[in-house]
Structure 1
Amino acid sequence: MSDEDLAAAWRDPALLRARLDRARPVPKRLAESLNRGDEGFEELRPPGLPRPAAVLVGLVERPGGPFLLLTTRTAHLRHHAGQVSFPGGRMEVADPDPAATALREAEEEIGLPPDEVEVLGELDPYDTVTGFRIHPVVGWIRPKAAWIPDPFEVADVFEMPLAFAVDLANHRREQRMRDGRMRTYWTLPWNGRHVWGATAGIIVNFVQLLRWRP
């Protein structure tokens, strides 16, 4: 996809939906370039099958172009405390699919009504070292009101310009030690925010899919 086509696609939900549809199933060459999660750390994950979860990769419609909807988790949470994340959480038995989970969690966490979200498609799952298999659900958001964060789970709600995220110059690699091993991961530092780990990996996957040239 040329930069002109890419710029047009990220401003039009119909074009984004078509782009996601064309990439399913993900071609082998593209699949090999995507982040599957914390690879090489399988033995550090909790025993048993990964626990299914879903997040909303929300694109908020704004006059200057769409923005990615992100939250900062509160410091006392058990998993990923204080980190930047998409709205989302564990799938429940009553949820018929990942989209239902993502929409339910977004409403609970930031007060986003499901009828303000147009679901465009899904990205490939992303496994975390903490034992979750995250299903990213892409949605186009036309908000009618301000966000209402749940004070127990969400310390802050903010938006990152999608134009910033699709610029490959803003994708950085960092390293840190975890359980005696060096971990390498993506980061997207933006406006004083440190977006990293699964959230950054999912953003990078989304951008790679948008930029995919068969």
Structure 2
Amino acid sequence: MAAASTDPDVVSTLGEIRQRLGKFDVRKKDIAFTKPEGLVSASVLVPLFIEDGNVKVLLTTRAKHLRTHAGLVAFPGGHMDEDDQSVISTALREAEEEIGLSAQDVDVLTVLPPAFVRPNKFVSLVVGLIPSDFVPNVNKEEVSKVFSLPLKRFLKNDYLTKEVKLGDFEFRVFFFYDIVDGEKIETWGFTAVYCMFVGLALCTSDLSIEVQKGEIVNKDNLFSTQHSENFFLKLKQTFAKL
């Protein structure tokens, strides 16, 4: 449950955004994030833009015929190809393939520590600033809808949560609900929590959120936990049993 105002805000100038997110950039840290054996490398782009003084995040709804995560709200992204030179290359290539966003139009602000996405993905998160007047060219084979929401929306405490226990792991899953173009949109799981995290990084107040039982995060301690290779492998094994 949020431990501060229900109407928080985020910084909105490029300089402040770059400074806030830059301190979490793994490219600046002496830490090696090696993909554990058996996991698949992937990258997503977290596209931010500034409109009328508000920071917004661009999101997609995945096509319903896809084999994995069909119909879910997601960041543009996908698997790393052999020709990709970096996790940034993967995120930018996928964003261009899915929504027609040119790599030249993305100002990469930071690369966040990788995360696990079921069932076996080792996902890097690239946060970038895109033009406020960007018009998506949607690849209907992969994406059914592109929309945006104010980033500060994910700092309000009007979310629902569900406690899930899988093996030795306990998860708190967050759900946000919005009406976009007359349609009810559900943003949950990985996408929801990383919208929260990026929002917290830019938050103007001392807002803190209990993201797991006993684990409270704020703009100062985000991404402070470096998970071991064994942690990711254990997660993969847990989901493989489902």
Distance 1:71 1:104 in 2: 15
Structure 1 gaps of 5+ residues are 26-46
Identity among equivalent positions (%) equals 32
Match of 2:147 in 1: 158
In structure 1, which of residues 188, 200, 207 is the aligned counterpart of residue 199 of structure 2? 207
**Are the counterparts in 1 of residues 10 and 202 from structure 2 also a CA contact under 8 Å?**
no
1:164 is displaced (CA, Å) by 1.1
Question: Do the aligned partners of residues 204 and 8 (structure 1) sit closer, same or farther apart at CA in structure 2, a change above 3 Å counting?
Answer: closer
Structure 2 gaps of 5+ residues are 27-35, 204-218, 222-242
Question: Do the aligned partners of residues 76 and 59 (structure 1) sit closer, same or farther apart at CA in structure 2, a change above 3 Å counting?
Answer: same
Distance 1:16 1:109 in 2: 26
How many residue pairs get matched?
A: 187
1:201 is displaced (CA, Å) by 2.1
**Are the counterparts in 2 of residues 13 and 120 from structure 1 also a CA contact under 8 Å?**
no
User: Alignment RMSD, CA only?
Assistant: 2.8
Distance 1:117 1:62 in 2: 16
Matched letter for residue 22 of structure 1: K
Question: Do the aligned partners of residues 200 and 80 (structure 1) sit closer, same or farther apart at CA in structure 2, a change above 3 Å counting?
Answer: same
Question: Do the aligned partners of residues 24 and 109 (structure 1) sit closer, same or farther apart at CA in structure 2, a change above 3 Å counting?
Answer: closer
In structure 1, which of residues 127, 141, 145 is the aligned counterpart of residue 130 of structure 2? 141
Distance 1:71 1:178 in 2: 28
CA deviations on 1:71-121 (whole Å, 9 max, x unpaired) are: 000111011000000000011121111111111111100011111111000
In structure 2, which of residues 86, 93, 102 is the aligned counterpart of residue 97 of structure 1? 86
1:184 is displaced (CA, Å) by 3.6
Match of 2:62 in 1: 73
Structure 1's consecutive aligned runs of 4 or more residues displaced over 4 angstroms after TM superposition are 175-179
**Are the counterparts in 2 of residues 164 and 170 from structure 1 also a CA contact under 8 Å?**
no
Distance 1:24 1:137 in 2: 9
Q: TM-score, normalised by structure 2?
A: 0.68
Question: Do the aligned partners of residues 140 and 170 (structure 1) sit closer, same or farther apart at CA in structure 2, a change above 3 Å counting?
Answer: farther
Match of 1:190 in 2: 178
| Secondary structure, aligned partner of 1:81 | coil
Distance 2:123 2:165 in 1: 23
**Are the counterparts in 1 of residues 151 and 195 from structure 2 also a CA contact under 8 Å?**
no
Matched letter for residue 80 of structure 1: H
1:145 is displaced (CA, Å) by 4.3
Question: Do the aligned partners of residues 80 and 138 (structure 1) sit closer, same or farther apart at CA in structure 2, a change above 3 Å counting?
Answer: same
Matched letter for residue 45 of structure 2: L
**Are the counterparts in 1 of residues 138 and 146 from structure 2 also a CA contact under 8 Å?**
yes
